[in-house]
């Protein structure tokens, strides 16, 4: 029964835990005590595990077709954002991003529980298994791109501050530029891989539904355009000197443009 | 007799002004002599570092002398006093003594507790000794300052954490690159500051260092310490093709790197970020290069920013050090500025009386031989010494009388010491 959204208490517990963790990250930034971020990370990890369990059981309970409602998609994106953040924490001791990534995860989580965004994908489209695979890859790709975008924004702010000789404050505790740059591009590459798979599986879906891989509708053209942009960008960035601030600025603008275009196309 | 400080530092004057006032080491001797040739200045010393330019003087007439020294400083680089005046500070008597103690103890430094300044003040004192522009009062003042600096280093934790302009620079590099151990560093100039920076880099695990110097032998000397390779300054561009951090601290009148040259370098580097730290005064690098993408440039003033963020934990220790300085300064002021003149004037008065009476008496005893005359003279000397022995000892020794300005005033009145 996909039409009725199960506002199960479990998802509220997850949301509450993410909020609590965010509060601890805020306290960590204010007081600078390491123990606070350690507590926040533990809360986040525990909440993420619970989130995975609830998301899994929700999927099993609902069965096909999945991802037909904003609840499903926003929950998945929220999960992916928090998961990527936890991964970053363990790889780079990157607690400070918690202040931005965790709230980003929260926004999607809250969106899923409200009726602010309403759509209802036609059921017969999603009964096709290609649809599920396609959407999962696209949304994971979106979450990873989102992380890349957020880290890029932090880089740009941090870079501006170093260049203009401003120190102190919250950004004092953020990682060095080189690490931010590294995380930005690594997540951009990973996001690109998911995005590519998403496009291919999208073609498969199209083929099985209407018999052709490419229908030429606006969304498909836009996806190809975005794919070519990032493909060119990732290949040319070193040889063209798009490194450091310039490269990150370009990729962030690219991401924001693609994001808004997709949102616009979705409304047509 | 008055202790005077006139000068400017990183807090009151920008680097563009300080670099104009930096005294050429080759001309220091001549400048010092010109200083003590001023009418009112008896003893003088000049501290000229990248962060400060100060004149320490012992003078006969405090007020007019401050003006004389201000004019002297302004004339050093033909700057008008009107333009310079807003940046100058002047301290007299206790304030001057306290200021020098604070400078020598590194409490007035860009990075509080850094070790360089103490050595720089010692060097300035050594130069003044060589130029014979110091005397009894300045010697005592400086020796006491070094004593206080040492005491603060050992009794407080203000210098325990190795922080200086150099280490602040290294910290900035870490903000851009994170781990420095895999980074290539170019060190331009092999001066004292450069050597210190090298030490900080070593502690960060840096092993790939290119050392550039006009004098390649100097660069080799540093390279022989086990860090990096030596280059002459001519290979600057070649080295910068691969360096990540560039620390410049060479004495030069013209910038060694301009915007166009750097833009060309960045293209060759494929725009990989590069961090320039300009420790030189006058500045080694054209400030326009920081407008280039992925180029970060900090000069010695900019380091203040980084320093501030590190400062908080040092401040409590600096507070203890300030209390120590205050105590030492007022003790010194009392003992030297008040006690020495009183004792000296007392001795002079007694000696004048002795000489006068001796002359009159010996005039009447013309039948005495040379030996007898000398015996009488020695006898009068001994009497005066014995009379003064106890009072001087009490005034000099640690006790309530030593710091009681009333006692000094009373002595002056009782013996009419001011009339002398």
pLDDT in tens, B275-332: 998 888 788 899 899 899 889 999 877 876 667 666 666 776 788 888 889 999 988 8
Cβ–Cβ under 8 Å, residues B201 and B207? no
List of chain A residues whose C-beta atoms are within 8 Å of the C-beta of residue B290? 163
Question: Where residue A2 falls among pLDDT bands split at 50, 70, 90?
Answer: very low
Q: Which of A162, A177, A245 sits opposite B293 (nearest CB)?
A: A245
Instruction: Say which residue, B277 or B344, is predicted with more confidence.
Output: B277
Cβ–Cβ under 8 Å, residues A183 and A90? no
Contact A167 B308 (CB under 8 A): yes
Residues A161 and A256 in one domain: yes
Sequence-ordered alpha helix ranges (H) in A93-120: 98-113
Helices B136-155 + B303-332 axis angle, to 10: 120
Cβ–Cβ under 8 Å, residues A17 and A47? yes
Q: Choose the final residue of a domain: A53, A85, A116.
A: A116
A80 to chain B, closest Cα gap in Å = 27
A131 Cβ partners below 8 Å, 6+ apart?
A65, A67, A125, A205
Residues A65 and A140 in one domain: no
Residues A261 and A132 in one domain: yes
Task: Identify whether A1 is part of a domain.
Answer: no
Please give the pLDDT value at position B149. 92
Closest C-alpha among A132, A225, A123, A145 to residue A189: A145
Which residues in A have their CB inside 8 Å of a CB on B?
162-163, 165-168, 172, 175-179, 238-239, 241-246
Contact A163 B296 (CB under 8 A): yes
Task: Identify whether A122 is part of a domain.
Answer: no
Contact A167 B270 (CB under 8 A): no
| Beta bridge mates, B211 | B187, B230
Residues A40 and A159 in one domain: no
Contact B267 A179 (CB under 8 A): no
> How many CA within 13 A on the CB side of residue A119?
14
Task: Identify whether A164 is part of a domain.
Answer: yes
- Reply yes or no: is the peptide bond before residue A253 cis, omega within 30 of 0: no
Quote the DSSP letter at residue B214: S
Residues A267 and A141 in one domain: yes
Residues A78 and A158 in one domain: no
Task: Identify whether A42 is part of a domain.
Answer: yes
Task: Identify whether A59 is part of a domain.
Answer: yes
Helices B192-203 + B165-177 axis angle, to 10: 40
pLDDT per residue as tens digits for the range B160-177? 544 666 777 787 888 889
Our count of domains for chain A comes to 2
Question: Where residue B47 falls among pLDDT bands split at 50, 70, 90?
Answer: very high
Percent of chain A whose predicted confidence (pLDDT) is above 90: 8
Q: Choose the final residue of a domain: A70, A90, A116.
A: A116
Residue A151: give the domain boundaries: 128-268
A187 Cβ partners below 8 Å, 6+ apart?
A84, A144, A145, A147, A148, A151
Q: Choose the final residue of a domain: A116, A145, A168.
A: A116
> Domains in chain B, start-ordered, CATH in brackets?
2-161 (3.30.460.30), 165-307 (3.40.50.720), 335-419 (no CATH)
pLDDT per residue as tens digits for the range B367-380? 888 898 889 988 99
Residues A112 and A185 in one domain: no
B50 is catalytic: yes
Residues A243 and A136 in one domain: yes
Residues A184 and A261 in one domain: yes
A242 to chain B, closest Cα gap in Å = 8
Terminal alpha carbon distance of chain B: 15
Contact A178 B293 (CB under 8 A): no
Least confident of A252-256, B338-342, B360-364: B338-342
DSSP H or E segment with residue B157: none
Query: Can you tell me the distance from the alpha carbon of B158 to that of B318, in angstroms, rounded to the nearest whole number?
Result: 6
Query: Can you tell me the distance from the alpha carbon of A32 to that of B230, in angstroms, rounded to the nearest whole number?
Result: 43
Phi, psi at B152, each rounded to 5°: -70, -40
Task: Identify whether A210 is part of a domain.
Answer: yes
Query: Can you tell me the distance from the alpha carbon of B32 to that of B34, in angstroms, rounded to the nearest whole number?
Result: 5
- Cα angle B63, B64, B66 (rounded to 5 degrees) comes to 70
Quote the DSSP letter at residue B48: E
Quote the DSSP letter at residue B13: S
Question: What is the mean predicted confidence (pLDDT) over B110-131?
Answer: 86
A254 to chain B, closest Cα gap in Å = 20
Q: Which of A163, A167, A243 sits opposite B272 (nearest CB)?
A: A243
List of chain A residues whose C-beta atoms are within 8 Å of the C-beta of residue B176? 162, 176-178
Nearest chain A residue to B183, by CA: A178
Residues A153 and A93 in one domain: no
Cβ–Cβ under 8 Å, residues B19 and B281? yes
Which of B111, B176, B177 to probe by mutation at the A interface, max A CB count within 10 Å? B176
Nearest chain B residue to A182, by CA: B177
- The catalytic position among B40, B50, B65, B379 is B50
Sequence-ordered alpha helix ranges (H) in B50-191: 62-76, 81-84, 94-104, 116-130, 136-155, 165-177
A86 Cβ partners below 8 Å, 6+ apart?
A41, A44, A45, A48
B336 to chain A, closest Cα gap in Å = 44
Residues A91 and A136 in one domain: no
Task: Identify whether A121 is part of a domain.
Answer: no
Residues A156 and A227 in one domain: yes
Q: Which of A256-265, B105-114, B238-247 has the highest mean pLDDT?
A: B238-247
What is the overall mean pLDDT for chain B?
84
């Amino acid at each position: 029964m996909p039409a009725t959204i199960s506002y199960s208490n479990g998802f509220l517990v997850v949301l509450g835990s993410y909020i609590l963790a965010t509060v601890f990250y805020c306290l960590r930034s204010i007081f600078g005590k390491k123990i606070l971020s350690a507590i926040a990370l533990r809360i986040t990890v525990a909440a993420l595990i619970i989130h995975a369990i609830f998301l899994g059981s929700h999927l099993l309970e609902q069965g096909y077709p999945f991802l037909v409602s904003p609840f499903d998609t926003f929950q998945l994106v929220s999960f992916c954002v928090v998961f990527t953040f936890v991964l970053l924490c363990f790889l780079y001791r990157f607690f400070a991003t918690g202040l931005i990534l965790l709230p980003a995860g929260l926004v999607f989580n809250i969106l899923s529980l409200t009726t602010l965004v309403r759509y209802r994908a036609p059921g017969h489209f999603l009964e096709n298994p290609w649809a599920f695979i396609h959407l999962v890859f696209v949304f994971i790709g979106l979450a990873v791109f989102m992380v890349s975008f957020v880290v890029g924004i932090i880089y740009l702010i941090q870079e501006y501050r170093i260049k203009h000789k401003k120190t102190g404050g919250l950004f004092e505790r953020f990682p060095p530029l080189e690490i931010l740059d590294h995380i930005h591009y690594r997540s951009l590459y990973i996001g690109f891989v998911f995005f590519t798979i998403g496009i291919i599986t999208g073609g498969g879906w199209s083929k099985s539904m209407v018999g052709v891989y490419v229908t030429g509708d606006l969304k498909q053209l836009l996806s190809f355009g975005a794919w070519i942009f990032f493909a060119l960008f990732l290949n040319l960035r070193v040889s063209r000197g798009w490194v450091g601030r310039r490269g990150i600025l370009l990729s962030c603008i690219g991401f924001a443009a693609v994001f808004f275009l997709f949102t616009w196309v979705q409304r047509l | 007799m008055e202790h005077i400080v006139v000068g400017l530092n990183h807090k009151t004057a920008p680097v563009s002004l300080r670099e104009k006032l930096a005294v050429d080491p080759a001309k220091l001797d001549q400048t010092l002599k010109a200083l003590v040739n001023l009418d009112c200045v008896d003893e003088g010393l000049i501290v000229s570092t990248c962060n400060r330019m100060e004149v320490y003087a012992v003078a006969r007439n405090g007020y007019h002398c401050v003006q004389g020294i201000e004019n002297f400083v302004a004339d050093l680089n033909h700057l008008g006093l009107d333009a310079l005046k807003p940046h100058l500070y002047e301290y007299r008597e206790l304030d001057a003594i306290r200021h020098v103690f604070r400078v020598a103890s590194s409490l007035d430094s860009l990075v509080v507790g850094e070790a360089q300044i103490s050595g720089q003040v010692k060097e300035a004192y050594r130069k003044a000794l060589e130029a014979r522009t110091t005397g009894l009062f300045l010697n005592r003042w400086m020796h006491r300052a070094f004593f206080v600096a040492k005491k603060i280093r050992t009794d407080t934790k203000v210098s325990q954490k190795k922080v200086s302009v150099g280490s602040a620079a290294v910290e900035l590099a870490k903000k851009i690159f994170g781990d420095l151990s895999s980074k290539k560093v170019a060190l331009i100039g092999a001066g004292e500051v450069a050597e210190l920076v090298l030490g900080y880099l070593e502690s960060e695990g840096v092993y790939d260092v290119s050392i550039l110097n006009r004098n390649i032998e100097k660069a080799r000397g540093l390279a022989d310490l086990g860090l990096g390779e030596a280059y002459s300054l001519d290979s600057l561009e070649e080295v910068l093709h691969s360096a990540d951090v560039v620390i410049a601290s060479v004495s030069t009148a013209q910038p060694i790197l301009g915007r166009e040259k750097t833009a060309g370098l960045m293209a060759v580097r494929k725009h990989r970020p590069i961090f320039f730290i300009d420790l030189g005064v006058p500045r080694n690098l054209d400030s326009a290069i920081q407008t280039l993408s992925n180029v970060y440039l900090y000069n010695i003033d900019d380091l203040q920013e980084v320093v501030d963020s590190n400062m908080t934990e040092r401040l409590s220790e600096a507070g203890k050090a300030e209390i120590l300085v205050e105590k030492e300064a007022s003790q010194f002021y009392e003992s030297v500025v008040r006690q020495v003149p009183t004792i000296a004037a007392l001795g002079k008065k007694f000696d004048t009386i002795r000489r006068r009476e001796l002359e009159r008496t010996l005039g009447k005893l013309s039948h005495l031989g040379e030996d007898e005359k000398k015996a009488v003279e020695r006898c009068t000397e001994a009497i005066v010494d014995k009379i003064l022995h106890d009072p001087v000892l009490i005034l000099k020794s640690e006790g309530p009388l030593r710091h009681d300005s009333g006692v000094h005033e009373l002595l002056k009145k009782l013996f009419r010491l001011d009339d002398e």
